[in-house]
């Protein structure tokens, strides 16, 4: 196997015919599919239906997604647009984008779940289909792994456990997603996790035709063996795909890599998936066992449901010791952090839990750590070093280990109301509000209480200074 990954394009793996023939067809189609995903072949108006389009936020082979505004309900929404397709009179086939629109619209009628993006409306406006969804501010898992920024193992497991709940719900409603991949999993700014895009889903309900006799679609690096072979698909196909995402988020690499699609599909069908601990020796064996079960070639050996997989991941989270939650760099600072006043009422596990969703950042003496007017939704907790932060009436307070700054942006998204000037080299924890919101509720409360105490103490300090000056 080479170390080159196949592009994440959506390919058409026909259920009929020999698997190798399907693989060869997909291989030939790959470069073209990638190009099509980046191009819009139809004119997009300023307004679709009652929705005013604002900015393009995504695209694919089946259409484009815009952030838009619903003036009647005064809210931003996401709207997916595709061309209306008509039945080909020669071969009797419906264009893929039109099938995706119909499929996702039908799925939306069944799927109302906290971990699935809500669909509000659907319709046709002239030559365009449109599907209106909740607008989720955040990032997809595509932003992580594979040489990019990484999430902590604890956070990865927490996120995937939430996706398990989403697919468990969809499976119980008779819908198999078929395209679970990092780009279709969103982490919202409020910490919630959302599964997107049921455009190529199939129904497992016997009396419905959705998916019957249709091509088995998917994204090459995340498809299950049964998608490659053209076998009948069930819920455990989604379990396999979610397992590939879990492996990638934990290791930074995909399960199988190949230069050609044909080679990739042969590996998915025949090669055993690598063990998790062969790439990450610091991860617990219980987590390796979960991943291995997801990636079993035989569907019968995988988890029977999303709920069962979520339970297994929950058990792993409960057993993960603090070092398992942390990068080596952060783990080295935990003994120091445990002595800071910010964490004075925290157990070692709670300190590790907070640190696991944080990053270590450094600021050089003489620099500005955070400028007045800056929009930054991170909180910074100083581990080592000293800074000055402007207060009221241009007075300043000196902050050091155990103090924090950036609260205004972290708590409410407001601009920073002061300059934070670095007096000595600083080492600090940097954390987003969304990541704190993803922690257990009891931990969230404790952390927000400490942040509030820090704000009050600094304000009292500045007010004492003002009183001293007045006297």
Is 179 tagged catalytic? yes
| DSSP letter string, 405-455 | E-HHHHHH-PBP-S-EEESS-EEEEEEEHHHHHTS-HHHHHHHHHHHHHHH
Token code pair at residue 174? 């008779």
Helices (H), 82-224: 96-108, 153-172
Find out whether 402 and 340 touch, Cβ atoms under 8 Å: yes
Q: With residue 355 as reference, give the H or E element that holds it.
A: helix 348-356
Catalytic residue among 70, 168, 179, 403: 179
Contacts of 265 (CB under 8 A, 6+ apart): 19, 23, 26, 220, 228
Instruction: Tell me which residue of 3, 7, 55, 306 sits closest to 166, measured CA to CA.
Output: 306
CB atoms within 10 A of CB 150: 17
Helices (H), 73-152: 96-108
Token code pair at residue 414? 């407001």
Instruction: Tell me which residue of 328, 343, 334, 413 sits closest to 379, measured CA to CA.
Output: 413
Report, as residue numbers or ranges, the catalytic residues.
179
């Amino acid at each position: 196997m080479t170390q080159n990954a196949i592009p994440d394009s959506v390919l058409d793996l026909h259920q009929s015919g020999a698997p190798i023939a399907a693989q060869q067809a997909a291989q030939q189609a790959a470069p073209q599919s990638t190009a099509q995903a980046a191009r819009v072949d139809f004119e997009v108006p300023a307004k679709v239906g009652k929705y005013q389009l604002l900015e393009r936020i995504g695209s694919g082979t089946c259409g484009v997604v815009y952030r838009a505004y619903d003036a009647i309900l005064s809210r931003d929404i996401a709207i997916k647009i595709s061309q209306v397709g008509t039945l080909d009179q020669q071969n009797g086939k419906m264009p893929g984008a039109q099938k995706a629109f119909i499929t996702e619209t039908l799925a939306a009628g069944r799927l109302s779940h906290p971990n699935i993006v809500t669909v509000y409306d659907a319709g046709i406006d002239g030559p365009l289909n449109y599907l209106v969804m909740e607008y989720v501010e955040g990032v997809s898992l595509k932003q992580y792994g594979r040489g990019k920024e990484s999430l902590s193992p604890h956070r990865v497991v927490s996120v995937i456990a939430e996706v398990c709940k989403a697919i468990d719900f969809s499976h119980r409603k008779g819908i198999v997603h078929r395209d679970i991949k990092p780009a279709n999993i969103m982490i919202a700014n409020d910490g919630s996790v959302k599964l997107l895009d049921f455009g190529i889903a199939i129904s497992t309900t016997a009396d419905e035709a959705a998916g019957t006799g249709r091509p088995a679609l998917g994204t090459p690096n995340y498809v299950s063996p049964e998608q490659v072979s053209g076998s009948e698909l069930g819920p455990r196909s989604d379990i396999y795909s979610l397992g590939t995402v879990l492996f990638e988020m934990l290791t930074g690499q995909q399960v199988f890599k190949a230069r050609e699609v044909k080679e990739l599909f042969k590996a998915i069908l025949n090669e055993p998936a690598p063990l998790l601990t062969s790439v990450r020796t610091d991860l617990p064996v219980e987590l390796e066992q979960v991943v291995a079960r997801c990636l079993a070639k035989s569907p019968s050996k995988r988890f029977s449901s999303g709920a069962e997989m979520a339970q297994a991941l929950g058990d792993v989270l409960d057993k993960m010791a603090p070092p398992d939650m942390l990068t080596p760099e952060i783990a080295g600072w935990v003994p120091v952090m445990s002595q800071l006043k910010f964490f004075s009422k925290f157990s070692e596990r709670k300190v590790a839990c907070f640190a696991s969703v944080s990053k270590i950042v450094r600021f050089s003496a003489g620099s500005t750590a955070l400028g007045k007017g800056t929009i930054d939704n991170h909180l910074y907790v100083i581990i080592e070093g000293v800074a000055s932060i402007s207060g009221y009436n241009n007075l300043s307070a000196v902050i050091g280990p155990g103090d924090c700054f950036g609260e205004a942006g972290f708590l409410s998204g407001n601009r920073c109301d002061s300059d934070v000037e670095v007096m000595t080299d600083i080492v600090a924890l940097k954390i987003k509000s969304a990541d704190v919101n993803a922690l257990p509720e009891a931990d969230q409360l404790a952390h927000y209480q400490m942040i509030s105490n820090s704000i009050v103490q600094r304000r009292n300090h500045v007010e004492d200074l003002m009183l001293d000056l007045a006297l």
